[in-house]
A and B are shown apart, each in its own frame.
Chain A
Amino acid sequence: QLQLQESGPGLVKPSETLSLTCTVSGDSISSSSYYWGWIRQPPGKGLEWTARMHYSGTTHYSPSLKSRLRTSVDTSKNQFSLTLSTVTAADTAVYFCVRFLGYSYGYGPVPDHWGQGTLVTVSS
């Protein structure tokens, strides 16, 4: 059974860098059929896609966050990570790591499995 688990600090100071890791079990992130990524949700608000990556290195970032985002994949640990630099209070959110269906399925990138989410608060 596929499981995704986010980990990282729950509190980050303004202007610093937010770093999160997602550990995947029950599937290999080296599968060519899927992408892996992040979706966030500010408290009490809606969902915002942030990044999507393939183990081969192909990466897509939200245009609104592109200048501050970096992602990486560690196939040996079956993990992928996100870093968001120069954070502000607007980056306070629950961050979900997600598996996306690949293009071969014919539906575009559909987030079909989600981690439980981790709340990251930006505050001094």
Chain B
Amino acid sequence: DIQMTQSPSSLSASVGDRVTITCRASQSISTYLNWFQQKPGKAPKLLIYGASSLQSGVPSRFSGSGSGTDFTLTISTLQPEDLGTYYCQQSYSTLALTFGGGTKVDIK
């Protein structure tokens, strides 16, 4: 299986800050990388697919970049409603889809 490693595992930032979360794949996955936001007690929500395509309805302060093994999710201006846990997921190995371990974002 392709292992997905996220860092940091948690972070605390202030409203208005720029936040960056990284995701590394154990082998090249081209741009088959997706990002999700999960708020407490809720289902995950797709934010970014194909490494950099913004899902419909998602605020433009969210952006994704990267290819191969290294990817980033950036929140340009952190808002209070952005608290939650963020997951990356690879869709390259279609018979063994895998997720990163998650990054918990708290608001200071």
A residues with a Cβ closer than 8 A to B are 46-49, 52, 60, 62-63, 96, 101, 103, 106-117
Number of interface residues of B (CB under 8 A): 26
B residues with a Cβ closer than 8 A to A are 1, 32, 34, 36, 42-46, 49-50, 53, 55, 87, 89, 91-92, 94-102
Contact A60 B43 (CB under 8 A): no
Query: For A46, A48, A108, A113, which residue has the most chain B Cβ atoms within 10 angstroms?
Result: A108
How many A-B contacts if CB must be within 8 Å? 62
Query: 8 closest A-B pairs (Cβ-Cβ)?
Result: A108-B91, A114-B43, A49-B97, A47-B99, A107-B50, A108-B32, A110-B49, A112-B46
Contact B101 A117 (CB under 8 A): no
A-B contact pairs, 25 of them (CB 8 A): A46-B101, A46-B102, A48-B99, A49-B99, A96-B43, A96-B44, A101-B49, A107-B32, A107-B50, A108-B32, A108-B92, A109-B94, A109-B97, A110-B46, A110-B49, A110-B91, A111-B34, A111-B36, A111-B44, A111-B46, A112-B46, A112-B49, A114-B45, A115-B43, A117-B43
